Amino acid sequence: MSKETRDGEQVILVLNSGSSSLKFGVFAQADGDEKLLLTGSAEGIGRPDGSLRIKAPDGRVLVQQDHLLESQTDALKKLSQVLTEQGYARPAAVGHRVVHGGPHLRAHQRLTAPVLQRLKEAVHFAPLHIPPALALIDEAMKIFGDAPHFACFDTAFHAMLPPVAAQLPLPRRYAEAGVIRYGFHGLSYESLVTRLGADLPSRAVFAHLGNGSSVCALRDGKSVDTSMGLTPTGGVPMGTRSGDLDPGVLLYLMRAEGLDADALETLLNRQSGLAGYADGESDMQALEKRAAAGDEDALLAIDVFATAVRKTIGAYAALLGGIDLLVLTGGIGEHSADVRKRVCDGLAFLGLSEGNATGNVRVVHTEEERQISRHCRGLLRAEERGGS
């Protein structure tokens, strides 16, 4: 089958793998940017209330299923079937969002055998994300084996963090071994920089708030600090992740309860954060419903989350010497008016107020998949030029 669309354009398939979700998009180029041809998502993977949606750009639903999806590969197989049924071409390239590549993979690049081996060696940096990403890459390479596959790393946007942000307060030998602040949600933040363009002021703070959440300080469009650190577990409390903790807490758990590394990993990545406050519930919409009904645990979880985000924004205001623009994005940042209000309450002294006349607090839809497609098309063209 041709690697072009019905209009003769090359298409790129983008797979955005999250800890419990898979988003995807099919893009062609038009007017100098990436044009969306098909979009979809699989949410709640591994849960009985999981769902799969595939839509045309006009919003027309092509596939809508509500049932348990055992894995991301289940969703990928269905997507491949829909592409064939709708008459779309085989992709010219497949782009993968990869959360963490460790110290040796800090730039977007083709997924070769050595790169895949490096990625396997980096699993301990992001144990919640990398194993399902590797499984998805393996399955995608089987289904779309005739196309080059590219990895786009969330850490790449933060690769030039200044030493004051990147270096952790540990002996230097650990930094030399790759124990540094990497930062995440970089593709989301980069997409916001691209979308805002000339409207992006010198001093900005972006907050990507979802099941995984982070905050980033930007000067002139470049990341100068960010809340997540060595792994996506650090920073503000998240859906099931603890965020930053006093290291003494971990020492206590090891000594008093005998928890080993695997038990700590499960506790910190899957049982903590909002879920720890609210008896296992991590979904913000569900927490808001419970809070509205008077559930004190749910209310505390929401308040802790919003307060942690607000405190981080305040710290970055001190770092930048002020904030000219605050951008909220991600599933919670874009859709929860209550969380946005809680985050912004108390920031008036910085001149920040959602919905005010100056427009210095904005809600902007993140476009990670489009950003990945941009990178993949650039890498694909570079390869074609190199081979000509």
Strands in the chain per DSSP E: 11-17, 22-30, 33-43, 51-55, 61-66, 93-98, 109-110, 149-153, 203-208, 214-219, 222-226, 325-329, 361-363
Catalytic residue among 154, 225, 260, 279: 154
Question: In this predicted structure, what is the pLDDT of residue 21?
Answer: 74
Contacting residues for 174 by C-beta, under 8 A, at least 6 apart: 168
Contact, 332 vs 237, CB < 8 A? no
pLDDT tens-place string over residues 216-257: 999 999 999 999 999 999 999 999 999 999 999 999 999 999
Question: In this predicted structure, what is the pLDDT of residue 100?
Answer: 95
Q: Which two tokens stand for residue 267?
A: 């506790």
Residue 49: burial class (beta carbons within 10 Å; 0-12, 13-18, 19+) = exposed
Task: List every span in the chain annotated with CATH 3.30.420.40.
Answer: 11-153, 177-184+198-363
Contact, 122 vs 130, CB < 8 A? yes
Question: In this predicted structure, what is the pLDDT of residue 66?
Answer: 83
pTM of the model: 0.92
Question: In this predicted structure, what is the pLDDT of residue 296?
Answer: 98
Q: Which residues of the chain have pLDDT under 70?
A: 1-9, 18-20, 68, 355-358, 387-388
Q: Which of 77, 79, 20 is nearest to 48 (CA)?
A: 20
pLDDT tens-place string over residues 93-123: 999 999 999 999 999 999 999 999 999 999 9
154 is catalytic: yes
Q: Topology of domain 177-184+198-363, per CATH?
A: Nucleotidyltransferase; domain 5 (3.30.420)
Query: Into which CATH architecture does domain 11-153 fall?
Result: 2-Layer Sandwich (3.30)
> Cα–Cα distance between 164 and 76 in angstroms, integer?
41
